[in-house]
Amino acid sequence: MQSVDNRILSRIYGRGRGCVVTPGEFLDLGSRQAVDLALHRLTKRGTLRRLARGLYDYPRTHAAMGLLSPGPDAVARALAGKHSIRLQPSGAYAANLLGLSTQLPAKVVYLTDGPSRTVKIGNQEIHLRHTTPRNMGPAGRVSGLVIQALRYLGRENIDDSIIDILRRRLTEGDRKQLLKDISHAPAWVGQCLRAISREDR
């Protein structure tokens, strides 16, 4: 019979480098104490890296840069699974994901229906901010991303070029979804969503 260490490793190897995990994901393989000890041993061996309390990654490596930090989405997915919560990229990070900003912010913000929390990994901070059910309504859909990106940019900074970029990036199905989720957006963002969805542009 495989040890808890090997069964955890087998699952992690299946997900590949860059994955972020929490002890709770492995409780079907052994007791909490056995899982914690196995993760401790794997960290001590250098196979895993402890990012924060209860948060580990199977790090990617670069020939020149060495160990790389995990992507914010990988960390966010692990936190979401750990606490059974939903997350919605927000602010500058939402704009970056849609190609409206080229710089990945050092401070990545996710809205959540769970508790607020900040996790610092290397030079990057990942902030989970508790928000209202209305803001979380379209979470996990492209419409949620668009709404948050437009709110971050601000009404005065939205022009035809922004609308056109979003029209080109979104599929026809995405644009239809914007209209379905328009009730979750402020009135001025709703006007932008209609413009992005319009077929005669």
Tell me the per-residue pLDDT of 8-49, one tens digit each, with 9 for 90 and over: 999 999 999 999 999 999 999 999 999 999 999 999 999 999
DSSP sequence for 80-101: HHHHT--EEEEHHHHHHHTTS-
Sequence-distant (≥ 6) Cβ neighbours of residue 89 within 8 angstroms:
73, 76, 97, 108, 109, 110, 145, 148
Q: How far apart are CA 198 and CA 164, in angstroms?
A: 11
Domain ranges in the chain are 4-67, 72-197
Q: 126, 76 in Cβ contact below 8 A? A: yes
Asked whether the whole model's pTM tops 0.95, one would answer no
Closest CA to 79 of 45, 111, 33: 111
Sequence-distant (≥ 6) Cβ neighbours of residue 161 within 8 angstroms:
none
Mean pLDDT (the chain) is 91
Tell me the per-residue pLDDT of 129-177, one tens digit each, with 9 for 90 and over: 999 998 999 998 999 999 999 999 999 999 999 999 999 999 999 999 9
Q: How far apart are CA 101 and CA 115, in angstroms?
A: 28
Helix (H) or strand (E) holding 42: helix 32-44
Q: 20, 56 in Cβ contact below 8 A? A: yes
CATH topology of domain 4-67: Arc Repressor Mutant, subunit A (1.10.10)
